[in-house]
Amino acid sequence: MKRNWCAWIAAAGAVMSLLSAVAAKAQESSQAKAPDVARMAQIVESYAKSGQFMGSVLVAQNGRVLLDKGYGDANLEWQIPNSPEAKFRLGSMTKQFTSACILLLEERGKLSTDDLVKKYLPDAPAAWDKITIYNLLTHTSGIPNFTSFPDYHATEWKPTTPAELVARFENKPLDFEPGTKFSYSNSNYVLLGYLLEKISGESYQKFLQENIFDPLGMKDSSYDSNTAIILHRASGYTPGAQGPENAGYIDMSIPFAAGALYSTTHDLLTWEGALFGGKVLSAPELKKMTTPFKDNYACGLLVQTISGHQKIWHNGGIEGFNTGMAYFPDLKLTVIALANLNGEAADEIVGNLGDVALGVKVLLPSERKEISLPASALEPYVGTYQIAPTFSIAVTLDGDRLMLQATNQPKFPLFAESPTEFFLKVVDAQIEFFKNDQGKVAYLVLHQNGQDIKGMKQ
């Protein structure tokens, strides 16, 4: 599977990739009560023991740390264990820091998010005439995602300046009219970093250090480097046929303002406390940062309602690392998972631990009870189900087993829990089939990412 250094995000009403599961099926909701910390620990241990997760996890509420532990190894070759002090590449979690820097510049009168990009880049192509800084922040510019270009993986190794990065996509046709749609694109945040440098007169790294990390005392966070000696930095791994393998190389100039930072769980807890405590941005700028524009995406953050509670979060993925962090404002709850092994575990851990804190029942794939159904009972479910205009789920029958294949993804087996309910084992997601008044299968519901997403049978 190809690895991308920035995790894909879709919003409520759209669909996340089946390989980007974030939370277990939300089956019931209750008033928030004291989190079941023992259950949280059990959930993380299950991922660690199964070999799906290596990293560090932290859960805190109202300033009190509930869970704070490292799992697996920071370096497999030297068998150095992970700990809360381990530093992990953040991937796309970087975007919220870039967003905060842009909003700081607005607060200081250096720019307006309503400004056209061409105000600062007058030589930009005519296609960019209507693109604003706010469009970049909210992934509504229409600028195509350069990490999806066919030659991207062949260029990951090469040190590249911000101007050279921008040149990779500035003359490409827009995917849509600016402001009309949401489409996650790393190009947006690379361009924001480039604009930040031009407007502030400082490098992206220096601006972050002087305006975010140093003032907040985040001593274990910075722009990652391929050459510097960074104490307690975890090594990154990716799954292989015989177990974890050293992750591929990427020059850290490539992810830039879209994905190049590293941090620790403790520093990120400091960040969450400062950001939502009003110590980083003024109230109006923080509101702008956390108010969704399209498809639940705000400015470098995704904002959703899960079991009646607002959840503000983002995840990330880069060679050897997957990360996730969520904040629930009404509960003052922070959940962080940083992994140095590629996979979906960090996302799922954040989702599941958040659910536990909300009082939602969490049932892991390993805890689900599989039943056997004859092929004759499964055959009516075979077909294609439309989830979104460009995303569908094909259900086929292989002997006495249903198989599921989402658009542009591998085929995976479905396991029956009941005659109408099925689950996947590769990710924490469930499929439920529904019949119409004539008794024929009409649609399915994908329970994933804390959402129930309907797909009509074609």
pLDDT in tens, 346-387: 999 999 999 999 999 898 888 999 999 999 999 999 999 999
Residue 290: its pLDDT value, please?
98
Q: What is the mean pLDDT of the chain?
A: 92
Q: Are residues 340 and 380 in the same domain?
A: no
Q: Are residues 250 and 203 in the same domain?
A: yes
Which tokens go with 136? 């970049």
Amino acid at 281: L
Q: How far apart are CA 430 and CA 266, in angstroms?
A: 33
Q: Are residues 345 and 387 in the same domain?
A: no
pLDDT at residue 13 greater than cutoff 70: no
pLDDT band at 448 (very low <50, low <70, confident <90, very high): confident
Whole-number CA gyration radius for the chain: 22
Is-contact 17 322, C-beta < 8 A?
Answer: no
CATH number for 117: 3.40.710.10
pLDDT band at 211 (very low <50, low <70, confident <90, very high): very high
The CA distances from residue 383 to 378, 396, 405, 444, in Å, are: 11, 7, 11, 11
Q: Are residues 399 and 436 in the same domain?
A: yes
Which range among 21-25, 89-93, 118-122, 197-201 shows the weakest confidence by mean pLDDT? 21-25
Q: Is 51 exposed, middle or buried (0-12, 13-18, 19+ CB in 10 A)?
A: middle
Which tokens go with 120? 């600062």
Q: Are residues 283 and 325 in the same domain?
A: yes
Phi and psi at 95, nearest 5°, equal: -60, -35
Q: How far apart are CA 136 and CA 145, in angstroms?
A: 12
With the C-alpha atoms ordered 132, 135, 140, 143, is the resulting torsion angle positive or negative? positive
Domain of residue 164, residue span: 1-364
Which tokens go with 382? 């075979």
Q: Are residues 177 and 279 in the same domain?
A: yes
End of a domain among 324, 341, 364? 364
End of a domain among 364, 396, 423? 364
Amino acid at 253: S
Phi and psi at 429, nearest 5°, equal: -150, 150
Q: How far apart are CA 306 and CA 352, in angstroms?
A: 12
Amino acid at 290: T
What's the pTM?
A: 0.86
Q: How far apart are CA 252 and CA 164, in angstroms?
A: 14
Domains held by the chain: number:
2
Q: Please count the other Cβ atoms lying within 10 Å of the Cβ belonging to residue 293.
A: 18
Residue 409: its pLDDT value, please?
87
The CA distances from residue 332 to 59, 279, 309, 421, 432, in Å, are: 11, 15, 11, 34, 33
Residue 388: its pLDDT value, please?
82
pLDDT at residue 26 greater than cutoff 50: no
pLDDT at residue 29 greater than cutoff 50: no
Residue 449: its pLDDT value, please?
60
Percent pLDDT > 90 in the chain is 86
pLDDT in tens, 273-329: 999 999 999 999 999 999 999 999 999 999 999 889 999 999 999 999 999 999 999
Q: Are residues 412 and 282 in the same domain?
A: no
Q: Are residues 279 and 398 in the same domain?
A: no
CATH number for 451: 2.40.128.50
DSSP 374-438: -HHHHGGG-EEEEEETTEEEEEEEETTEEEEEETTS-EEE-EESSSSEEE-SSSS-EEEEEE-TT
Is-contact 76 247, C-beta < 8 A?
Answer: no
- Coil, helix or strand at residue 348: helix
Continuous segment of H or E residues that includes residue 46: helix 37-49
Q: Are residues 106 and 162 in the same domain?
A: yes
Q: Are residues 291 and 440 in the same domain?
A: no
End of a domain among 331, 364, 397? 364
Residue 51: its pLDDT value, please?
95
Q: Are residues 347 and 372 in the same domain?
A: no
Q: Is 392 exposed, middle or buried (0-12, 13-18, 19+ CB in 10 A)?
A: middle
> Could you tell me which residues are beta bridge partners of residue 423?
415, 430
pLDDT band at 450 (very low <50, low <70, confident <90, very high): low
Residue 12: its pLDDT value, please?
31
Strands (E), 5-54: none
- Coil, helix or strand at residue 87: strand
Q: Are residues 360 and 412 in the same domain?
A: no
Which letter does DSSP use for residue 213 in this model?
I
Q: How far apart are CA 370 and CA 102, in angstroms?
A: 50
